[in-house]
Amino acid sequence: MTISRRSFLKGAMAGSAASLVGPGLLTSTAAAAAGVTEQGVWKTAGSHWGAMNALVKGGKVAEVKPFGADQYPTEMLNGIKGLIYNPSRIRYPMVRLEWLKNRHNGDRTTRGDNRFVRLTWDAALDLFHEELERVQTEYGPWALYAGATGWRQTGQMHSCGNHMQRAVAMHGHFVKKVGDYSTGAGQVILPYVLGSTEVYSQGTSWPLILENSKTVVLWGNDLYKNLQVGWNCETHESYAYLEQLKARVAEGSIRVISVDPVRTKTQKYLGCEQLYVNPMTDVAFMLGMAHTLYNEALYSQAFIDAYALGFDDFIAYVQGEAEDGVAKTPEWAAEICGVSAEDIRDFARLLAADRTQLLFGWAIQRQQHGEQPYWMGAVLATMLGQIGLPGGGISYGHHYSSIGVPSSGASAPGAFPRNVDAGKTPVHNNTDFQGAASTIPVARWIDCLLNPGDTIQYNGAEVTFPDVRMCVFSGCNPWHHHQDHNRMKQAFQRLETVVTVDYAWNATCRFSDLVLPACTQFERNDIDIYGTYSSRGVLAMHKLVDPLFHSRSDFDIFTDLCRRFGRDEEYRQGLDEMGWVKRLYDECREANKSFSPASGDGEASSPMPEFAEFWKEGYVDFGPGENWVRHADFRQAPEVNALGTPSGFIEVSSRKIARYGYDDCRAYPTWMEKAERSHGGPNSDRYPLWLQSVHPDKRLHSQMCESEELRATYAVQGREPIYMSPQDASERGIQGGDLVRVFNDRGQLLAGAVVSDDFPPGVVRIQEGAWYGPVGPEIGALDTYGDPNTLTLDVGSSRLAQAPSANTCIVEMERFEGEVPEVTAFGGPSVVEI
Amino acid sequence: MTEPASSLAAARPEAGGGSPVDGESESLLCRWLATVLGAELDEASLERYRQGEAAPFLDYLRDAHGITDEVERLQEALSRLVMFTTPRLELAADFTELFLADARSGAPPYASLHAGDKQGFHGKAAERMEARLAAAGYAVRRDVAEPADHLAVMLDYLATRLQILAEAKAPDREGWRQDLEAFVEHELCSWLPRLVTRSAGVTTASDFYPALLALLEAYCRRLVEELRPA
């Protein structure tokens, strides 16, 4: 029997088949007039990669241009559209199927390799709330870790870590973290030595360095690369000074020497000198220099007498009069660091000869014993006696945001609060962590998951790991930034529940149970500073387009979560998004009402107009700042302007640290062999290559790795590049463009070979932030894209800082043979047979 | 009828009568396809499918359009759902795997993502669809929150056009027919084969959705043929 067209319709409409036809997806509107072309509108926005103006046309971002004040924009702005409209966007709330069926009793081994199901927002937030409730009531605050936060998207109102932590804190207490992955060792050791973290402090102004320094030392510092991104909406002011420094180098008025195993982007830009040192041996090199400075009487005894303590103990160690009985002569150092004894002496003499500015990067403290090179750098600067002088002393931050750019002195806008309001308590006000720590060193959280109940030493205290059962992440991708992913896989199998809020399907989402789609910063209104350290101005971050798909702002997500336990009004303090943006602006305006720009006539009048005018204009500029010298006040009056160290003086040796009794961080900076090291160090016979995982050139950590347009400019056969020397490539039969398997005992990955004279033998580079995508769920599975943290070592820097040691990592590599697996790093949840 | 103006001007009413397409029936069929490809099945809908209540649609596709293999494949997939203890969840996970998760790893139902090398949401295909919708006095419902080039949106649009074709009188009918033929051929048949190929590469618990996509592709091919003047 056949069906006629008319009888089909009749039958379908009469029968229940019609009930299988849902309501239409379209709605009627007024028909658009033919031939009308929308011109679009330019709006102001911003990002870590740069402030910008964006043309919005037909509800889409059509074009992105650098903000007018940004004279040195980066090409990463070309990735903005690719980020907004990226196929990796999380479009709907999702839940892992196994977890939905069996919740915390389900099979956890499938986490990271399981199917997902879409949820409505209501259903998803109900589940989120139910899990918070379950964990707080069945266990307690010790079972919830919501401490991990990271490089969020820019914007003071929607700062995602603040939203997540405020909302979760309104429900109950939880385990938090201390420290971060960028400067974990530095920010713990330097308060003992120089009295503050230094790494995030404003530094001596660039004009004073350009005017006064005769020698500038870039120690493991590729600032031309790293200054491309900033914590707030970046306007790249530092580059004007780098351009001047380049001119000074060319004319010979300033000598710039980069101490680095690699020929860096900065070296090539400035046309400056390179001083090669073996990886992870900087402390030995510096001790050899200290030996020279001391024994040739090139150091400033007067400065030490006036401003420092503990020099005698340290110099006894240098002279071989300490326990180890080894003099740290240049000859001793040369054996370790690969720099000849005469070059060590010459370098020490050069630095002592005239005004020398030391500019340290962060990479050398991201290693085992990472406290030591920073401490030793401070000791060298102390011996040179130029701390507090313009163009002298030491900085640990000139490669970060706008450190070194003179500050206008204006106040920046505040932020949406991170904590519960004063006087308020959570729904579950249980503060009993059952003897475990409520705060753990951030880089030790995988240790914590794997070894609950264990006690570690940290910064003079004991930390007992809580038995964490649930984690919440928001705008934070630990599956990029934490070391040793195969170890992480094991740790995640212990967790009962993982909730992640993000905008793209990164590995952290794949290893979660509940995934909530946040919109990007271009899909909500916000406000931010531009010139993080220069306080150059305030930027309006206009919403360019509506949140894509079913994504929502962090504010909306967590307001609705709080509604489930009756705290939404308290959470948002009665304000909506624009109410908050206006409040932050108005409070900033009030704080700046007596501010007068440095270039102004000195009359006290805020340059900040009413909010409506600011929002229409898109920005307020505070004008250029004034020069400043770090630690000049201390130099001028050390008793009055004492440092924040225990003694108030520079502590070449620290009695406080000595009292801790740590054998991996002693009373003064010391050379200690690493667990593994290339160039003749431990285990280098098996794994002879040092893998450095520096900050990427064309991303912010893992942010924008998903942008195909940008990735196409650097990927090799669709993989993250591994940079290597011609010699290392040749010895292994590798040619540029080949796929390479890189491996050690911890894991293996695929990367694309780039052979370059910039790299010395024994040194390879894979930039951190490459997205993780293993071929399968098994421990040790090949990573298909090339995340270096598949291979890195997950140990604390020492008992003092317990910081990440990512740069203590040695590997071997080989040309990849066999069937090439597809890249899975940018896919959503993968599939298992059911 | 107020649009499409350009195709109307070139309308050939005498040719319109040559098309065997019954706009009203096809419109209903497309609305069904838009529904089943627009969202996961709920328990009630799934039960109706298991009770065979989709039979009129499948019979019609087989008998009126001569699509047999694909119809049988879908029927087979439906019959196999009894193997699952939680069929709705498994189908929902399949739906997610294919259509909702990271667009690179599934079979994303967006024309823009199958248009060429530079893949991203809201591409040229979406712009063309937005223009079509605007010209017809339509927009995607705000709560749907999908770009205009989502397959279900395009099928819903197609349903409205087919209904208009059903109600059109000569001399307008030929203009509508031409526009429909061009739409199905250039805006749907241009990327549906790639979507079907992508779906075949995704491991799903059930063959329901891959079979449905294959059926849709066959249907669109037949529809283009049938829209052409005899």
Q: What's the pLDDT tens digit per position in A355-397?
A: 999 999 999 999 999 999 999 999 999 999 999 999 999 999 9
As a whole number of angstroms, the distance between CA B35 and CA A19 comes to 10
Q: Residue B214's domain spans which residues?
A: 2-12+20-227
Instruction: Supply the pTM of this predicted model.
Output: 0.94
Helix (H) or strand (E) holding A177: strand A176-178
As a whole number of angstroms, the distance between CA A310 and CA A650 comes to 9
Nearest to A352 by CA among A330, A314, A378, A385: A385
Residue A492, number of CB atoms within 10 A of its CB? 22
Helix (H) or strand (E) holding A64: strand A60-66
Three-state secondary-structure class, residue A65 = strand
| % of chain A at pLDDT higher than 70 | 96
Our CA-based measurement puts residue B208 at a distance from the nearest CA of chain A, in whole angstroms, of: 15
List phi, psi (to 5°) of A68. Answer: -55, -35
Q: Which residues of A, range 767-826, sit inside 8 Å of B by Cβ?
A: 824, 826
Query: Which one-letter amino acid corresponds to residue A304?
Result: I
Mean pLDDT for chain B overall: 89
Looking at the complex, does the CB of residue B205 fall below 8 Å from at least one CB of chain A?
A: yes
Query: Which one-letter amino acid corresponds to residue A549?
Result: F
Residue A369 backbone zone (phi > 0: left; psi -120 to 50: alpha; other: beta): left
Chain A residue with CA closest to B128: the answer is A58
pLDDT the model gives residue A412: 96
Give residue A106's Cα distance to chain centre.
33
- What single DSSP character describes residue A740? E
Q: What is the pLDDT of residues A579-603, one digit of tens each?
A: 999 999 999 999 999 888 765 555 5
Spell out the residues 6+ positions from residue B88 whose beta carbon is closer than 8 angstroms to its own.
B40, B41, B42, B43, B46
Three-state secondary-structure class, residue A541 = strand
**With an 8 Å Cβ cutoff, are B53 and A6 in contact?**
no
DSSP string, A504-540: B--HHHHT-SEEEEBPPGGGS-EEEEESTTT--EEEE
Confidence of residue A114 (pLDDT cuts 50, 70, 90): confident
Looking at the complex, does the CB of residue B140 fall below 8 Å from at least one CB of chain A?
A: yes
pLDDT the model gives residue A118: 97
What value does the mean pLDDT take over residues A657-665?
98
Chain B residue with CA closest to A86: the answer is B120
Residue A831 has pLDDT above 90, yes or no: no
As a whole number of angstroms, the distance between CA A502 and CA A518 comes to 5
**With an 8 Å Cβ cutoff, are B113 and A87 in contact?**
yes
Number of residues that make up chain B: 230
As a whole number of angstroms, the distance between CA A358 and CA A376 comes to 12
Half-sphere exposure (CA, 13 Å, Cβ side) for B118? 11
pLDDT the model gives residue A707: 86
Spell out the residues 6+ positions from residue A583 whose beta carbon is closer than 8 angstroms to its own.
A575
Q: What is the pLDDT of residues A628-646, one digit of tens each?
A: 999 999 999 999 999 999 9
Q: Taking a C-beta distance cutoff of 8 angstroms, is the pair A617, A42 a contact? A: no
Q: Taking a C-beta distance cutoff of 8 angstroms, is the pair A764, A678 a contact? A: no
Q: Is the peptide bond before B171 cis (omega within 30 degrees of 0)?
A: yes
Q: What is the pLDDT of residues B120-130, one digit of tens each?
A: 899 999 999 99
Q: What is the pLDDT of residues A759-769, one digit of tens each?
A: 999 999 999 99
The total number of structural domains that make up chain B: 1
Q: Which CATH number goes with the domain that contains B136?
A: 1.10.3480.10
As a whole number of angstroms, the distance between CA B26 and CA A523 comes to 39
Query: Which one-letter amino acid corresponds to residue B96?
Result: T
With beta carbons under 8 A apart, name residues in chain A contacting B145.
Answer: 549-550
Residue A512 has pLDDT above 90, yes or no: yes
**With an 8 Å Cβ cutoff, are A22 and B28 in contact?**
no
Chain B residue with CA closest to A551: the answer is B145
Number of residues that make up chain A: 834
Residue A639, number of CB atoms within 10 A of its CB? 8
pLDDT the model gives residue A696: 97
Beta strands in A308-467 (DSSP E): 308-309, 356-360, 393-395, 439-441, 455-458, 461-464
Residue A625, number of CB atoms within 10 A of its CB? 24
Joined together, the tokens standing for residue A774 give 């293993």
Three-state secondary-structure class, residue A274 = strand
Q: Taking a C-beta distance cutoff of 8 angstroms, is the pair A541, A45 a contact? A: yes
- Residue found by looking up tokens 């039969």 in the block: A733
Residue A770 has pLDDT above 80, yes or no: yes
Strand partners of residue A764 = A691
pLDDT the model gives residue A244: 98
Residue by residue, what is the 3-state secondary structure of B174-193? HHHHHHHHHHHHHHHCCCHH
| % of chain B at pLDDT higher than 70 | 90
Joined together, the tokens standing for residue A94 give 């999702």
Confidence of residue A663 (pLDDT cuts 50, 70, 90): very high
Confidence of residue A15 (pLDDT cuts 50, 70, 90): confident
Confidence of residue B171 (pLDDT cuts 50, 70, 90): confident
Residue B17 has pLDDT above 60, yes or no: no
With beta carbons under 8 A apart, name residues in chain B contacting A512.
Answer: none
Looking at the complex, does the CB of residue B103 fall below 8 Å from at least one CB of chain A?
A: yes
Mean pLDDT for chain A overall: 95
Residue B3 has pLDDT above 50, yes or no: no
pLDDT the model gives residue B6: 32
Chain A residue with CA closest to B157: the answer is A26
List phi, psi (to 5°) of A498. Answer: -130, 125
| Burial group, residue A777, by CB count within 10 angstroms (0-12, 13-18, 19+) | middle
Q: Which residues of B, range 182-201, sit inside 8 Å of A by Cβ?
A: none
As a whole number of angstroms, the distance between CA A66 and CA A63 comes to 10
**With an 8 Å Cβ cutoff, are A26 and B133 in contact?**
yes
ipTM comes to: 0.91
Our CA-based measurement puts residue B171 at a distance from the nearest CA of chain A, in whole angstroms, of: 22
pLDDT the model gives residue B7: 31
Confidence of residue B118 (pLDDT cuts 50, 70, 90): low
Strand partners of residue A676 = none
Strand partners of residue A54 = A43, A64
As a whole number of angstroms, the distance between CA A132 and CA B197 comes to 42
Nearest to A236 by CA among A86, A92, A71, A459: A71
Confidence of residue A111 (pLDDT cuts 50, 70, 90): confident
Q: Taking a C-beta distance cutoff of 8 angstroms, is the pair B95, B40 a contact? A: yes
What value does the mean pLDDT take over residues A82-96?
94
Helices B55-65 and A5-14 cross at an angle (nearest 10°) of 180
pLDDT the model gives residue A29: 87
Spell out the residues 6+ positions from residue A742 whose beta carbon is closer than 8 angstroms to its own.
A691, A722, A748, A749, A750, A751, A764, A766, A786, A791, A811, A812, A813
Strand partners of residue A118 = A94
Helices A330-337 and A341-353 cross at an angle (nearest 10°) of 110
**Which of B56, B64, B100 is nearest residue A118 as measured by Cβ atoms?**
B100
Looking at the complex, does the CB of residue B58 fall below 8 Å from at least one CB of chain A?
A: no
- Terminal alpha carbon distance of chain A: 39
With beta carbons under 8 A apart, name residues in chain A contacting B101.
Answer: 94, 116, 505, 827-829
To test the contact with chain B by mutation, choose from A25, A546, A705, A832 the residue with the greatest count of B C-beta atoms within 10 A, namely A25
As a whole number of angstroms, the distance between CA B65 and CA B223 comes to 8
Strand partners of residue A259 = A219, A275
Strand partners of residue A458 = A461
List phi, psi (to 5°) of A126. Answer: -60, -45
What value does the mean pLDDT take over residues B70-84?
96
Residue A349 has pLDDT above 90, yes or no: yes
Q: What is the pLDDT of residues A416-455, one digit of tens each?
A: 999 999 999 999 999 999 999 999 999 999 999 999 999 9
pLDDT the model gives residue A31: 64
Residue A320 has pLDDT above 60, yes or no: yes
Q: Taking a C-beta distance cutoff of 8 angstroms, is the pair A359, A391 a contact? A: no
Nearest to B47 by CA among B77, B85, B87, B74: B87
Helix (H) or strand (E) holding A727: helix A726-731
Our CA-based measurement puts residue A499 at a distance from the nearest CA of chain B, in whole angstroms, of: 16
Confidence of residue B21 (pLDDT cuts 50, 70, 90): confident
Higher-pLDDT residue of B24 and A338 is: A338
